[in-house]
Structures are given as structure tokens and as C-alpha cells.
Structure 1
Amino acid sequence: MDKSDNKNVKNKEELKKAEYKGHRERIRKRFLDKGIHSFSDYEILEFLLFYCNAQEDTKPIAKAILKEFKSLNRVFKADIKELEKIKGIGPISAILIKFVGELLTELYGENLKIETKADKITDKEALLKFLRNKIGYEDVEKFYVIYLSSSNEVIAFEESSSGTLDRSSIYPREIYKRVIMENAKSIIIAHNHPSGNTCPSKCDIDITNEIAKGLKNFGALLLEHIIITRDSYFSFLEEGLI
């Protein structure tokens, strides 16, 4: 390779770097002007990767991550070793993605305070974000119970069942025991539908009624039952089923 060839290669590399820089600046400006809601899912990851990959074009890396994990939620819940299998993702990038995922979980957990007024949940959006982050993207059905104090602060949040839900897989007595142990005054129950269909089954309705009736014997209330998916939800309270 002669000097002219070296010069051409160098010029191409410099031009490519200039293009990266211009693209990154446009993305940053769009974030400042319009916020994260103006981003597609891959652009969110691309933006995040800017800060641990100063030289490389992060757009194809971001798209490769989404192709592998299918959704942002699954990306942020992925194991570090799984992330490092993606071409272009090294230990630093993988740790950053994992950190952001755990930070989101921590913030949702700490900020979830449910207030009630005339038997209506006034902070429904916080509840839905919390539940979607926890179970909305799961591949199997999971049944969770949120135990609340008299001031409606979260005492505990625990998985009660996993797998195909039916009456034999959910144990209301165990819920009642936890209510007594935690001195909970109310609970919210929730489960996901991996199919994306939020319509409750007869089993869902029967379990809801059984738990609501049993709680009254312990001076506690069932405030809500939410069926959550990645895109939608069904509220038993809103539909008059509680």
C-alpha cells in the first residue's frame, strides 16, 4: 500500500468518525428538545451505549441487542454474560445496561405508594409501571401479592405462584397467613398473561372472589386485581368485579 492509499484510508476513517459525531450530537439534541419519548427502543440503547463506546457506531449494536432479547425490558433484565455474547458488547457496556435495569427496578419498588380514595386507586400509573416491570414481560404466568399497611405503604411484594394458573396452584390460606404475619390491612393481587390477552378467565374471577371473601375474616380488604401484559392491563376494580 503506497502513501496515497494510506491517505485515502485515513481520510475515510476521519470522515466516518465525523459522521458518528454528527449523528450522536443530533440524537443528544433530540433528547434535550423532545425527551426520551421521541426515541425508538433501539435509539434508547444506542444513546446509552454512547457513554461507554466513544468510537464505534452503536446503532447496529443496539439493533442486535433488541433482535436477541426482543424488548427493552428483557434487555435490562438480561444477565451480564448473556449481554456479552452480543458482538460489540464488552464488560463495561454489559455492566452499564445491567446497572440501569436494576436501578429501574429499585426506583419502581421504592416509589410505589398506593393511595385509595372512595375505594379507587389514585396512583394507578405507578402501580401499572411497577407491575409491568416485574411481571409484564415474563414468558410464564406469575401470580403476585402486594401487602399494604394501614397507610397504604407497601409492606411486602411476593410471588405466590408461577406457571399455568389454576385454583390448585394458588393457596389463599397462605395469603391470609401473610396478612396476619405482616399485619396488612389490604392487598393487591396481580398476574400476567404472556399471550397478551388481558381478558380474565372464569378461574381468574373465581380466585378473586374467593380471596376477597376470605380476607374479610381477617379484617383486610382486596383493593385490586390486575392482569398485566407488556402493552395493556385489566382492572377488576375498574370493571366492577371487586
Structure 2
Amino acid sequence: MAEKLHQNHRERVLEKFRRFGLDVFSDHEALELLLFFAIPRVDTNPTAHRLLARFGSLHAVLEAPAEQLCEVEGIGPRAATLLRLAYAMCARYQQDVAKSERHSDRLNTIERIGAYFVPQFAGEQDEVLLAAYLDGAGRVIKCEEIARGGHTQVTVDAYKIARTALLCDASGVALAHNHPNGTVTPSESDLLATRRLEQTLAGLGLELVDHCVVARGKYTSIRKLRAGQLGQRR
């Protein structure tokens, strides 16, 4: 009898999703629904609450390593894999959208540059540096990964960036890297590397259009930051 009632509850939750989508669900209800597909014949509502209590938020649950997820009562390897897969699919979706728009976007404003780069770092656990090479109209000719580091720092290879820019006949370069620690504030080394690359490119008649720092779906434009600091000094 209890199993039948539980099955009816699952059907009601699934029907609610089919009719209204995920927007009407709270975070714990969304997790409860997702866990239906990994944990059969068990009430996943308490497990969803335990996940949120352990990690503090929905995004932190999805970002958590599998071994930490398995420390939560009710979560085994199958459920942990499903949660990791859900997060990876979100990242893949964002990356695919960015890829499909890559050749039509004009990265001629700070906002467009930020919107272009942010999805490409979704799901990244390492610090990664990307460079987009732009034509005179700001369209992306090519975008490539320049460097990949650990959780703290990557090296800006000015020679590699300048050489590629010249080879693809670019007029400018837009740069971005992520901070896996979650802060979008540029470090002193970020600012120094930006100035050095800017000088290297300028010597070749190329422009460093901007350098963005990305974290948790947000970004900071170093170009905008420096312009604001300059305005304050005046």
C-alpha cells in the first residue's frame, strides 16, 4: 500500500513538471524529481533536503565531486553520477549555444564579450585561458585554448597569442580566463599580464580588445575596471 502511494506521488510530481516545467519547483523539489531516475521505490524528498543541507545550495550540489555526494545518506554511486551528469549537460548546453553563435557574434562591446565567454567556462574545474581572434568588425575568426592550469593560475603566452593573431590576419584579440575559486576580481598578476600582452600586441599593430575574468556565470572586464579607476583618479 505504501509503495503504491509513493508511486502515485511520483506520478503527480512528474505530471506537475510536464504541465508547468521546473520554474514552479523549489530547489529541493527539483532535486527530488531528478533523483527519481536514479533511486527507485524510495522517497527522495528527505535525500534532497539532506543534499541542500550538506552543500548549501542547488548549484553547490551539482558542482560537488561524486565522492562528496556519496557521503550524504541516500546517495550512492548511481545517484551521484546522475547529479554530475545533470551538471555536465548544463555546461555542454551552454557551450553548444556559444559555439553555434560564435561565427555571427560581433565582440565589439564589453557586454557581448562577456556573454560570449561566460558559457565556455561552464563546468570547468581548472583555470583556463581562452583567446578569441577578431576581424576588423569584431567577428570571431577563431577561438582557442591558450593554457590550462590547476585551480589557481595559468600563464599568458603573449608570443603564442600574437603569432596566432598574425597568422589568421586578425585585427584584435579578446581574452578571458576563469577563477575556479568563484571570485571575479582580477588579481595583480592578471592586471600585469594584461598590460604586457597589450604592449606586445600594440607593437604589432594589434589591439587587445578586452580581458575578462569569469567565475560562476559572471564576469569582470579588466578594460572597464581600468577605465573606472582612471576616471576616479581624474
State the TM-score, normalized to the length of structure 2. 0.67
What 5-or-longer segments of structure 1 have no aligned partner?
1-9
Secondary structure class of the residue paired with 1:170: coil
2:164 is equivalent to residue 176 of structure 1: no
User: How many aligned positions are there?
Assistant: 219
Listed as ranges, the matches of 1:130-209 within 5 Å are: 130-134=120-124, 142-148=127-133, 150=135, 151-152=139-140, 155-162=143-150, 164-165=152-153, 170-173=155-158, 175-176=160-161, 179=164, 183=168, 185=170, 186-192=173-179, 194=181, 196=183, 198-209=184-195
Does residue 128 (structure 1) correspond to residue 114 (structure 2)? The answer is no
Once the 2 structures are TM-superposed, how far is the Cα of residue 224 of structure 1 from its aligned partner? 2.8
Q: CA deviation at 1:46?
A: 1.6
**What is the CA distance between 1:36 and its match in structure 2?**
3.0
Distance 1:184 1:162 in 2: 32
How far off is 1:49 after superposition? 1.0
2:50: which partner in 1? Answer: 64
Alignment of 1:8-19 (within 5 A): 13=2, 18=5
Task: Pick closer, same or farther for the CA change 1:83–1:212 going to 2, 3 Å.
Answer: same
- The answer (yes or no) to whether the contact 1:184–1:220 under 8 Å persists in 2 is no
Query: Are 1:224 and 2:214 counterparts?
Result: no
Specify the code of the residue in structure 1 equivalent to 2:145.
F
CA RMSD of aligned residues (A): 3.9
Code of the residue aligned with 1:57 in structure 2: it is D
Cα separation, partners in 2 of 1:18 and 1:195, compared to 1, 3 Å: same
Q: Is the 8 A contact 1:149 1:183 kept in 2?
A: no
Aligned to 1:92: 78
Query: For structure 2, which runs of at least 5 residues remain unmatched after alignment?
Result: 229-234
Q: Distance in 2 between matches of 1:193 and 1:82?
A: 18
In 2, distance between residues paired with 1:172 and 1:77? 30
Distance verdict in 2 for CA 1:126–1:30, change over 3 Å: farther
Using structure 1 for the length normalisation, give the TM-score. Answer: 0.65
For the Cα contact (< 8 Å) 1:145–1:160, is it kept in 2?
no
Deviation of 1:84 after TM superposition, in Å, equals 3.9
| Aligned-partner Cα distance in 2 for 1:68–1:158 | 36
Distance 1:170 1:152, change over 3 A: same
1:49 aligns with 2:39: no
Larger Rg: 1
Q: Is contact 1:187-1:224 (8 Å) kept?
A: yes
